[in-house]
Each structure stands twice: as C-alpha cells, then as structure tokens.
Amino acid sequence: MKNILTMSVAKYIGFINYFKKYGIEKEYVLKLAEIDPLIFEAPDNRFTPDQMNCIIQVISKLTNKTTIGLYPEQIFPKSFSNILGHLLVNCNTLGEAINKYCRYERIIDETVVSSLVMEGELAVFNIAFIDNTLAANSIFIDLNMTGAFTYMNLLTNKVLELKEVHFKYQLGVDISLTLYHNIFKCPVIFNSSRNALVFDLHKLNLPIIDPNKELLMLFEKMVQLALDRLDCSSSYTKKVTTLILKEVGNNNILSISEVAEKMSMSVRSLQKYLKREGTSYTKLFNKIRMDIAVDYLRNYSITVDEIAYILGFSDISSFYKSFKKWTNLTPGEIRSLNCSEGNDLSM
C-alpha cells in the first residue's frame, strides 16, 4: 500500500532548471533540500510533497522571491518528457486534451486533482490540491495554475481568452496584483472557494496544433500501462481513511462533503477517484466503523451503547443492525467469542 502521494520529476524539472539563469544550479538546490541528485536520473522518478515543498522553499530563499511560480511560459516545454505529454499533443481539440489530462493526471502528479466542469456557457478548469502541505503553498499553486494556462496555450498555439481566474489563497500584501493580470489578462479573484480557470465553453473546440489519431491511440495504450505500473490505487483511499480515522478519534463523524472540503476538492471528484480505486466513501466509512467497533468490543470497559455513540449512530438498534450486516454477527456474539486478530470480518 502506498502511503505517500508523489509527483513525477518530469513535471517540475523545468521549474528547477529555470533558475540556472540566476546562477542557481539544481545540484545546489537539491543539496540544500537534502535530496539525492540521482532522482534526476530518470524522468519517471518521483518527488514526495515534502521534497517538493523543500525545493520551493530553497529556491524562494535563494532568489528572495515569493512569486517564482509565475514564470511557466519560460519553464514549460510543449510536452512533458513523459508519455502523458505525447498523448495530449495528439488530441484533436483542447476539450479532448483537458479531459484526457484529468483522467490520467495521476501519472505525473498525485497531489493535484484537476477537473473540467460546465457552468452554463462557461467551462471551468478546477485544480484541487489534496496534500495538506502543498495546498497551503502559494508558490506551488501559482506554478500549477499558470502552468495549466500556459500548457493550454502551447497545445493550441493561441492565447486562451479567460473570463476569470480564481485562487483560494489570499494575495499577500507585498505582492502586486498586476503580476497576475499581466499573465491571465482577466479579473483575478483571491480568497475564492476554488482554484480555477474560467473561459467560454466554445473554446474547448479549439484545435490542437498537429494531432495524429494513430499516435493518440498508441500513446493512450501506453499511458494506461504506465498508470497500471504506478499502482496508485490506494492514494485517495489512504487519504480519506486517514481523515476519517483522525476525526473519529475526536468523536467527530465526517460526511463526504466535509472530507472533500478538507481535501480541497469537489464531492464529485472525490467520488470519481474513489470509484477508480474500486471503492466508495460509504464502503470506506463502513469498513472503518466496523474495524473500530470490533476493536472496541474487545474492551469490556466500553459498553455497546458507548461504542454506538462514538461511531455516530443515532440509537443502539441502528448500530446492531449495521454491525450484523457488516459481520453476520451481533456485537454480543463478537464479544463472547473474544475474537482474535486472525478472524476475517471484512466486508
């Protein structure tokens, strides 16, 4: 089981190399960030969120800049040195490329969940940051937001006309709003409820520069194989499980909307990613409550009524009914059996 969300070196190598123009070599950055330079030996190697956060902090300190995430036009090539980039440049339209990017994004970054939604005559490209450390890092958010915009422009060879850009974080008092206006050429809203690029729906029909149907089919097969190899099926499951367990320990039962909010993503996106991993919020929630209940039932100092209350049941009968459904046994039968760790009570 994978415990840490990761991101591909290929996605961010351009960002790190860019600062060579300031006399900042990537080897020096990695040394200060205490990261093995061999990580650059292959583009499919992965950074952890902590490593990426350290890299950003080091570069920000060395440059004395807090806006280093706003230079993607210089650091983003037309294609990632990754199979996903080759797939996208062979799509027919911007809309097709965005949808495929959202579908396969995990290959290059598990800490970010992008989604495309329609709101009337508008298309909204949402970017949710689900790692707690990076979700609070404005430079990382800038890099991904401006990077997405730049990449859309590179794919179509046009400057996408945006209606609005939204950032969840509050703009620092020492940072000029003009910097953002110069990049996006539209109203930029901070302290918003989402990180999003908003543009006219018909822009999704913009053609990609030089698509190739045969190559698209080939690369999509390769991308799916890469996704299988990545084996990140537990990433979101692990994140949701951790959040639920943490709150249950505080006698607080989270709804799916509350979990989604804590993960900085929509309920729909959370449901989609859990489904891809072969589970659902309800299955996870019930499995966690079952495991906790079985564990508590081994402790005779905790009454069944107390267990039902801790697990958020409105009454004891509801707890009995659910527990019987989960395990085919009653709480009393479990307690009398004094079941061992080896008993298989999984759903």
Do 149 and 182 form a contact (C-beta atoms < 8 A)?
A: no
Burial-class residue 268 by CB neighbours within 10 Å (0-12, 13-18, 19+). exposed
Name the E strands within 247-335. none
Neighbouring C-beta atoms of residue 306, cutoff 10 Å: 11
Domains in the chain, please, with CATH? 72-228 (no CATH), 235-337 (1.10.10.60)
Give the chain's residues under pLDDT 50: 1-3, 232-234, 339-347
Per-residue model confidence (pLDDT) at position 171: 92
Q: What's the sign of the alpha-carbon dihedral 239, 245, 250, 252?
A: positive
d(CA 56, CA 129): 16
Phi, psi of 92 (to 5 degrees): -85, -40
Name the E strands within 44-170. 46-47, 112-119, 122-129, 162-166
Do 254 and 270 form a contact (C-beta atoms < 8 A)?
A: no
Q: Are strands 162-166 and 188-189 parallel, antiparallel or unpaired?
A: parallel
Per-residue model confidence (pLDDT) at position 346: 44
d(CA 110, CA 231): 11
Give the 3-state DSSP-derived string for 68-104, with helices as H, strands as E and coil as C: HHHCHHHHCCCCCCCHHHHHHCCCCEHHHHHHHHHHH
DSSP 170: P
Count of residues for the chain? 347
Q: By three-state DSSP, how is residue 223 classified?
A: helix
Per-residue model confidence (pLDDT) at position 229: 66
d(CA 274, CA 281): 7
d(CA 284, CA 234): 12
d(CA 85, CA 53): 24
For residue 316, give both structure tokens. 């004891």
Residue with tokens 């989609």: 272
Q: What's the sign of the alpha-carbon dihedral 97, 231, 112, 263?
A: positive
DSSP letters spanning 6-26: -EEHHHHHHHHHHGGGGT--H
- How far lies 341's CA from each of 209, 337, 338, in Å? 59, 12, 10
Per-residue model confidence (pLDDT) at position 250: 56
Phi, psi of 3 (to 5 degrees): -100, -15
Residue with tokens 């495991």: 291
For residue 29, give both structure tokens. 């950055």
> Which helix H or strand E contains 333, and what residues bound it?
helix 331-337
d(CA 144, CA 44): 19
Burial-class residue 162 by CB neighbours within 10 Å (0-12, 13-18, 19+). buried
